[in-house]
Each structure stands twice: as C-alpha cells, then as structure tokens.
Amino acid sequence: MRQASDYTEPALKTIFAEDFKIGAAVNPMTIQSQEHLLAYHFNSITAENEMKFESLHPLEDIYNFKLADQLVAFARKHHMAMRGHTLVWHNQTTDWLFEDKKGGCVSKETLLARLKSHIQTVVGRYKEDIYAWDVVNEVIADEGEELLRQSKWLDIVGPEFIGKAFEFAHEADPKALLFYNDYNESNPLKRDKIYKMVKSLLEQGVPIHGVGLQAHWNLYDPDLDEIRAAIEKYASLGLQLQLTELDVSMFRFDDKRMDLKVAPAELLELQAERYEAMFALLKEYRDVISSVTFWGAADDYTWLDGFPVRGRKNWPFLFDERHNPKPAYHQLLNAVTKS
Ligand code: HXH
C-alpha cells in the first residue's frame, strides 16, 4: 500500500479547487485503511452508514454516537468538510420508531415528536462539524404515476413528513444546508417527480437549500444528455446541487456477469472516457454544483462489491485497490489541465 510520501500526483481537491468540493464516503475501517489517500485527495467526507437512524438511535432511549464521532474527529483532524447522511429514510431505520409499547402503530403526533427529538439531538450534536445534511433520502417512487414511494413514514404521517423533517433540521441548525437526496435522479420520469416534489416544498416555504444527485452511475447509463437535462431542471429551482454518492460501476444495473476477477484494460479505458466526459460536464455547471462526493474512495472497498450481484467485485473509482491512480484519474487530469 502507498505511504504518505508516495503521493506526488496532483490532488483531486486541488484540481477542482475552483469548482467544487471533492468528497468520499468513509467508515471506521476506511478512515484507517485509506487515511493517506483520503487526506491527500479529498476535502470532504460523508459517513457511509454511521449517521443513519438505525446506527445512531437503535432504541428509543439509546443513542450510539461512538462511530459517528470517530468519523467527525477524522474530518477535524484533516480539516475536511463533512456532510450528514441521512435523517429520514425508509431503510436502515429501526422498527421501534414506528411502534408503540404493544407493537402497534404509533400515532402521527408521536412519530412526528420522535422525529423532531431525533433531529434536534443529532443535528444539534454535530452543528459545528456538519455543514450540510441529507434531510430526506429516496422518497420518490421509481416507476409509475405515484409520486411518493410506500413507507411507514407516508402511512403514518402522510406526505407532510417531508416538509416537517426540513423544518426540524432548520430549527436544530439554522446554518446547515439542507438537501433532498435521491438515486435514478437523471431518469426523466423520476427526475420530473423529484422536481415536482421539491418545487412544492419551496412553494410551501419549506427550508430546503439543495438537491443531492446520488449519481450511482455506470459505464453506459445514464446518458450524458440525461445527466445534463437533470442538472438543468433541478438548477432551475434556484437551489444548489451536489453529487452525493458518485460511483461508475463497470456493469449495467441488470448485467449479471460474474467472470471478471480483475478489471480488464478495455473496461478501464471506457471508464476513463466516461469520467472525463462526466467531469467536463460537471465543470460546465460549477456555478450550481457545490460538491462532488464519491461513495467510497478506492477500489479496495465499495458497497458495489456484491451488489446487486452477490460475490462479484466492482471497480468504480479513480483509484485502484492499492490506492494508485487508475487510467480514469490520468485521463481526467489530462483533460482538465488542457482546458
Ligand atoms: C444509496 N441507495 C443510499 O443512499 C446509501 O445510504 C447507501 O449506503 C447506498 C446507496 C442507493 C440504492 C437505492 C435503491 C436500491 C439500491 C441502491 O434499490 C434496489 C435494491 C435492490 C435491488 C435493486 C434496487
């Protein structure tokens, strides 16, 4: 593995210093195993899992801040910005939140009171360290006419849980930038639904400051034109945009191939082309895009190992398993320094 003194290539955070922050999702393992890489190339982090509801608040009277605090300390140590992820989600949230003592459903009032208390505690605790929160994650339905996906939040509270979450977060830290975050954000059908939902929040006076484009992309999808159209549409709301969970999978989402044990040169080349084109586009929108966060940092650890195809490795980042720059890094650097 590379030592701190081995890092001599231009740092990503320097290359894009005039454009946007460059972030990485981290966890308690990677802040150790990837410390030099993170410190050298990145100026922002997000907790991959440690600030999700089930991690921070497993039981009504128990908060677990230990792991989240470790990540915050890492950001402080390396003078990095930190994003918070995530306050309201239908996944990785504990059942107690929605249940009364007898295991039945709580009332709307109780659920909102619990949400408010959770947000005050968590957002309040990290006020000095976290400048932006993903307040609501993934509430839009992927397919069909329905605007909002089915969830216990929707069942119990109705659609106003979304605006309430933003209000509670704004009360807890009036300085924090508050984001709505979602995936398949460049798909035209879902894009228009996200736009519609966020627009209605704005019309109701809800304190929302940005749209998070997760950007779980791959070599082939989404099309650059669709990414551009999505950026334009969200930006037309007058909000800032961030790419919050960027990765470029080697496989189309429905590709089940299992034969690759190492990343083939042809795919690394395609990935280099793709990253170059993507960042050229992102730079065009540097006035509205304030941060680009990868959902990891190097190919030794990615949530895409084993997802959605169990047992399959993936290589979605700019740095390889030994933290060396990949063809995508070199081509990106080349393109950006020429322009
Ligand atoms: C993100 N969801 C989350 O925001 C982040 O917190 C997490 O660490 C990783 C990714 C992306 C996602 C959303 C839906 C999804 C898969 C990933 O849905 C599927 C689940 C199974 C099969 C197909 C889709």
Q: Does ligand 1 come within 6 angstroms of the Cβ of 141?
A: no
Predicted local distance difference test score (pLDDT) of residue 333 = 96
Cis preceding-peptide flag for 308 (omega within 30 of 0): yes
183 Cβ closer than 6 Å to some ligand 1 atom: yes
Provide the phi-psi class of 323: left if phi over 0, else alpha when psi is between -120 and 50, else beta.
left
Query: Could you tell me the CA-to-CA distances from 100 to 104, 106, 151, 234 in Å, in that order?
Result: 5, 5, 17, 39
* pLDDT exceeds cutoff 90 at 271: yes
Atom of ligand 1 nearest to the CA of 184: 13
**329 near 318, Cβ under 8 Å?**
yes
Per-residue pLDDT tens over the stretch 149-186:
999 999 999 999 999 999 999 999 999 999 999 999 99
**Active-site residue list:** 138, 245
| Separation of CA 43 and ligand 1 centre (Å) | 25
Beta-strand (E) ranges in the chain?
21-26, 44-47, 81-88, 132-137, 177-182, 210-213, 216-218, 240-249, 289-294
Distance from Cα 216 to the centre of ligand 1, integer Å? 9
Is the pLDDT at 339 greater than 90? The verdict is no
Confirm or reject: Cβ of 216 under 6 Å from ligand 1. Answer: yes
Atom of ligand 1 nearest to the CA of 137: 4
Q: Which atom of ligand 1 approaches the CA of 85 most closely?
A: 6
pTM check: above 0.75: yes
Q: How confident is the model at residue 1 (pLDDT cuts 50, 70, 90)?
A: confident
- Going from the Cα of 192 to the center of ligand 1, the distance in angstroms, rounded, reads 20
* 299: CB partners within 8 A, 6+ apart: 263, 314, 315, 316, 317, 319, 320, 321, 326
> pLDDT tens across 300-316, in order?
999 999 999 999 999 99
